[in-house]
Structure formats: structure tokens, C-alpha cells
Amino acid sequence: MQLRIPGPTPCPPEVLAAMGRQMINHRGKEFAEIIQGVTTKLKQLFQTKNDVFLLTGSGTGGMEAAIVNTLSPGDKVLSVSVGVFGNRFAEIAESYGAEVTHLNFEFGTAADPEAVRQSLKADAGISAVLVTHNETSTAVTNDLKSISAIVKEFDKLLLVDAISALGSIDLPVDAWQCDVVVTGSQKGWMVPPGLAMVSVSDAAWQAHAKAKMPRFYWDFTKARSYLEKGQTPWTPPVSVFFGFAVALDMMLAEGLPNIFARHARSADMARSGVKSLGLSLFPDEKYASNTITAVKASEKLDVAKLLQILRDEHDVVLAGGQASLSGKIFRIGHLGWVTEDDIKQVLQALGKALPQATS
């Protein structure tokens, strides 16, 4: 089976085997060793010396944590959005009473760093910027390095949804001065859903000290004080931790440059493969993501039918479009445990299924 959606992604057999073991006390010595090991290794893969926490929840929980831990109701926030997940980040901030200025870009395009500069210039009261590194709904990777340089010129807090980027696409958290960076276990990390991982910079801690948004489950202060004891404030997904310890060793053995290169090769193959099937990419190719490929569906292509044929007849599972993109695009996930061979299989199946789904 080729599960090629942008999470959950397939897990290597070593990871699955590690997760089959008996439960342990999550407040005992053995778990403490595991969480400390996992945290240390994660910091290497985040390329950061900042604190990193493993929060029990999906990526969206991590996004909510980023907001409620650093902001107060009434704070002015600039939302830089290029798709569904960018909009979600803004919605969370609004739900907790932030005053959000929306800098939205057309779906399929990347955020223009100059426009971020203009927005920050226009309103000195803005305290934080929300941005998506890799917009999974449109398969666009934003130029986070340039955006972050501008945000830091204005000395604002930068909260990053890197849920489908970190661990697969280069994101040097410290070099790019990202204050809170969020990712999720089921994306590029080769483990099942259940954990959101977040990094917290010194500036984010300073903001946290003043932040008044209500929070209980997602409190960074609690996460930090429990991590000092080798624990999490609430019961963690113990099995996911077992798997994570193995997956992180695999990632470190491969090395970040090799992981990034493998994702780039898989993405190249996906993009050139769909084009050679006569299809076109949905996003501006200059910003096409290395973790997911979005393909335009012509008027004549029935996306639902295509996905069904791929699943039923070829054991290939792809994703459709979200929100306004439903029926207009389909997406091939290529993050985490993926090689060019996997993409080759997807393309072969696609070649066979396309004519059957086209009127």
C-alpha cells in the first residue's frame, strides 16, 4: 500500500515494532530517559538550542499552544496566509481575542516578504507575526528565511507553523530566529499521530511571561517544569514515544542534508512525473513544496473518482483538495519515510487511473 497523503505518513517497520511493547510508568525513570533522549535529538533536528517540548495532541494543538502562550487578548497580530492552514492559525488567534490583520495571498502563490514589510511598517502596534512555512493545502513553501529577516528587522515575535516542513525541508530554527516553531509527529517524522513538537526561544519566553490568553493544557511553564523531571504535565502517548526514539535515531543516522536531499529528489520526481502525464502543477513552481505536490484537475477529471480508483485498484492513497480547492486539485504527499521508488509506483498507478477518471 502506498499511503501518500500529507499525514499520517507510513512508519518504518522498526518504528512499528518499537511501539508494540508493554506500557511503562510515565512518571518513572525509564520514561524520563526516553523523553530526555527524544528531546535532545529533536533539538538537533530543529537545529536549535531553544527549549523543545513534546505536547500531547495533533499539530493544531501545537498551533494553539504557540498562540495562547505568547499573546494576550487585544494583541495585534499579523497573519501571513497562503492557504487553509494559514487561515487556521489566524482563526485560532482570533478565537482567543487577538486583533488579527490579514495579509492573505492567493492560493497557489507564496507570501511576498516585501508585503510583510509593508504591513509591519503600516502598523507599529503589531506584536507578533503568524506564518506557515509549508502550506500543505496548496503545496507551497514560503520563503521563511526572508520573511523572518524582515520580522526581526521590526523586532516582532515570529510564530511558525512548520508542521509539514520540519524534519523534511531545511528550517534552521536558530539561524532564522524563529520564536515558536510547531510540527507534528505524523508528518515528516515517521511516527503515528499523537504529538505536537514546539520550540520556544528566549524572546518567546519573555512574551510568555506577560501573555494573558487563557490556557491550561497547553501551558509552556508546566511543560518546562515537568520536563525537568523527565515527565509531561499530562499522560503522554507512551507508545508514540517508543516509536519516536527509534525514528529519531534513523533520522540522525541518515543526517539532515541527506534527508532534505531525499525529499527534494522525491518531489522532483513527483513534479516531473505528473507533468509528463500531461497534468500541471497547482502552485507557482518556483515555490513548489518538497513534501507535497498539488496537481491541477482539468474540468474533465473527476478527482473523487480518481482517488477511488487509485485506492481500490492500485492500493495508492492520495489526498484531494481542501476547502475551496475540493474537486479542483489532488495532492501527493512525499514526506517522512519516502523514496523515489514510492513515487515511481504512485506515478505508474496514476498513469493507469487517469484515463478511467477522465470524461
Ligand X SMILES: *Cc1c(COP(=O)(O)O)cnc(C)c1O
Among 70, 79, 101, 136, binds ligand X (CB under 6 A): 136
Closest CB to ligand X among 58 and 146? Answer: 58
Q: Are strands 51-56 and 195-200 parallel, antiparallel or unpaired?
A: antiparallel
Among 52, 59, 131, 303, binds ligand X (CB under 6 A): 59
CA 138 to CA 279: how far, in whole Å? Answer: 16
CA 163 to CA 132: how far, in whole Å? Answer: 8
CA 124 to CA 179: how far, in whole Å? Answer: 19
Residue 164 interacts with ligand X (CB under 6 A): yes or no: yes
Residue 132 interacts with ligand X (CB under 6 A): yes or no: yes
Closest CB to ligand X among 75 and 161? Answer: 161
Size of the site for ligand X (CB under 6 A): 13
Selection from 186, 192, 206 nearest residue 240 by Cα: 192
Q: CA 16: distance to chain centroid?
A: 22
Closest CB to ligand X among 48 and 136? Answer: 136
Q: Which stretch binds ligand X (CB under 6 A): 25-33, 158-166, 199-207, 219-227?
A: 158-166
Q: Which stretch binds ligand X (CB under 6 A): 110-118, 129-137, 239-247, 342-350?
A: 129-137
Residue 7 interacts with ligand X (CB under 6 A): yes or no: yes
Q: Which stretch binds ligand X (CB under 6 A): 74-82, 128-136, 139-147, 321-329?
A: 128-136
Residue 161 interacts with ligand X (CB under 6 A): yes or no: yes
Contact 133, 162 (CB under 8 A): yes
> What's the closest the beta carbon of residue 163 comes to ligand X, in angstroms?
4
Closest CB to ligand X among 162 and 353? Answer: 162
* Owner of C-alpha cell 507551497: 140
Selection from 277, 234, 276, 209 nearest residue 53 by Cα: 234
> What's the closest the beta carbon of residue 104 comes to ligand X, in angstroms?
16
Closest CB to ligand X among 140 and 297? Answer: 140
Residue 168 interacts with ligand X (CB under 6 A): yes or no: no
> What's the closest the beta carbon of residue 332 comes to ligand X, in angstroms?
14
CA 57 to CA 87: how far, in whole Å? Answer: 20
Residue 60 interacts with ligand X (CB under 6 A): yes or no: yes
Read off the C-alpha cell for 119.
Answer: 504591513
| Cα three-residue angle 182-188-191, rounded to 5 degrees | 100
Contacts (CB under 6 A) with ligand X, residues 66-105 = 85
Selection from 211, 250, 226, 204 nearest residue 56 by Cα: 226
Closest CB to ligand X among 223 and 349? Answer: 223
DSSP, res 335: -
Among 56, 58, 109, 358, binds ligand X (CB under 6 A): 58
> What's the closest the beta carbon of residue 86 comes to ligand X, in angstroms?
8
Ordered alpha helix ranges (H), 183-237: 202-210, 220-228
- What binding mask, one character per residue, do residues 16-55 give for ligand X by CB under 6 A, x or -? ----------------------------------------
Q: Are strands 99-104 and 51-56 parallel, antiparallel or unpaired?
A: unpaired
Q: Cis (ω within 30 of 0) for the bond into 172?
A: no
> What's the closest the beta carbon of residue 310 comes to ligand X, in angstroms?
21
CA 125 to CA 77: how far, in whole Å? Answer: 9
Q: Which stretch binds ligand X (CB under 6 A): 19-27, 131-139, 140-148, 213-221?
A: 131-139
Residue 192 interacts with ligand X (CB under 6 A): yes or no: no
Residue 56 interacts with ligand X (CB under 6 A): yes or no: no
Which residues does 261 contact at the CB level (< 8 Å), separation at least 6?
none
User: What residues form DSSP beta bridges with 78?
Assistant: 101, 129
Tally DSSP H helices, then E strands, for the chain: 12, 14
> What's the closest the beta carbon of residue 24 comes to ligand X, in angstroms?
25
| Residues making contact with ligand X (CB under 6 A) | 6-7, 58-60, 85, 132, 134, 136, 161, 163-164, 184
